[in-house]
């Protein structure tokens, strides 16, 4: 009786499927509780409507301004300024950050002056920007671009410099050219930092827009708030703050969704 050689059994471990993210409605409990408490305090008279109107009053004001087209027109102007500033500052930050991160000459020429300039709060440059570019649209767009530039530049630079050099050397050993290494090694390695920088940059863009639109503006959410202040329309002022907050939250949620779809290979720690 002859023995039949059999191939050794290989223990195959099932691949752990990553659980899809689900909406966590628990995160909405605390904001809703704050709004309900605010509403209760306003209706009971603890909070003066002249100082801080109830959320229902602000909502009614928002519906009224939306129905007559006022809110939509001002919102479009604000989005246009933010978009143009984001593109200008973002493109400049990506180009300079990548140049400084990839090239030693670029690092020596670009990074030192940027490091010096970052110590200056860009919102404090408003008087100087008024002298340089005037008080029109150029000043507001420049202010947004400056707010976008620094967080995106530093995260681009850090994302490239934090890539393990052994991965680049391994790619070079495998015969990958410069552009192939950029595409398959450097870009994927820097993407997490790029998304972080973009999230910070968008937040800085909205903050810069709030300040810029309160300086000699004839349209935009900031102008709507300043005009309401002159007539003591506190509900419109609070509505403007809500709009800015909603824009920031919405842009962050969209960017988080894009990040999850782009970085499907990355598994980060989740809260227990």
Q: What is the pLDDT of residues 176-212, one digit of tens each?
A: 777 877 777 788 888 888 999 999 999 899 888 888 8
At 15 the pLDDT is 46
Higher pLDDT among residues 16 and 114, named by residue:
114
Instruction: Determine how many CB atoms are found less than 10 A away from the CB of residue 168.
Output: 16
Highest mean pLDDT among 143-152, 162-171, 215-224, 240-249: 143-152
Q: What are phi and psi of 13, to 5 degrees?
A: -90, 130
Q: Which two tokens stand for residue 38?
A: 């605010």
Please state the rounded mean pLDDT for residues 244-265. 85
At 5 the pLDDT is 44
Domains, the chain, ordered by start? 53-261 (1.10.3720.10)
pLDDT digits (tens, 9 = 90+) for 208-225: 888 888 877 788 888 888
200 vs 198: CA distance, rounded Å? 5
At 17 the pLDDT is 47
Q: What is the value of pTM for the model shown?
A: 0.80
Alpha-carbon distances of 34 from 61, 168, 239, rounded to whole Å: 20, 50, 16
């Amino acid at each position: 009786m002859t023995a039949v050689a059999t191939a050794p059994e290989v223990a195959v471990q099932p691949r752990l499927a990553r659980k899809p993210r689900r909406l966590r409605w628990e995160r909405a409990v605390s904001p809703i509780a704050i709004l309900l408490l605010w509403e209760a305090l306003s209706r009971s008279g603890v909070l003066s409507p002249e100082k801080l109107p109830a959320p229902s009053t602000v909502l009614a004001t928002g519906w009224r301004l939306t129905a007559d087209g006022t809110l939509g027109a001002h919102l479009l102007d604000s989005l246009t300024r933010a978009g143009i500033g984001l593109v200008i500052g973002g493109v400049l930050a990506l180009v300079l950050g990548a140049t400084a991160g990839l090239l030693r000459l670029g690092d020596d020429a670009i990074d030192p002056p940027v490091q010096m300039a970052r110590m200056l709060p860009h919102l404090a440059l408003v008087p100087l920007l008024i002298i340089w570019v005037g008080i029109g649209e150029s000043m507001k767009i420049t202010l947004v671009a400056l707010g976008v530039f620094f967080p995106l530049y530093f995260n681009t630079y850090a994302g490239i410099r934090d890539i393990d050099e052994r991965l680049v050397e391994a790619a070079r050993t495998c015969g990958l050219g410069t552009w192939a290494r950029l595409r398959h090694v450097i870009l994927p390695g820097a993407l997490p930092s790029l998304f972080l920088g973009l999230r910070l940059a968008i937040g800085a863009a909205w903050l810069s827009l709030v300040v810029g639109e309160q300086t000699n503006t004839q349209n935009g959410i900031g102008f709507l708030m300043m005009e309401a202040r002159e007539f003591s329309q506190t509900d419109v002022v609070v509505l403007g703050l809500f709009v800015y907050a909603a824009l920031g939250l919405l842009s962050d949620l969209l960017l988080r969704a894009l990040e999850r779809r782009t970085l499907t290979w990355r598994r980060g720690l989740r809260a227990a």
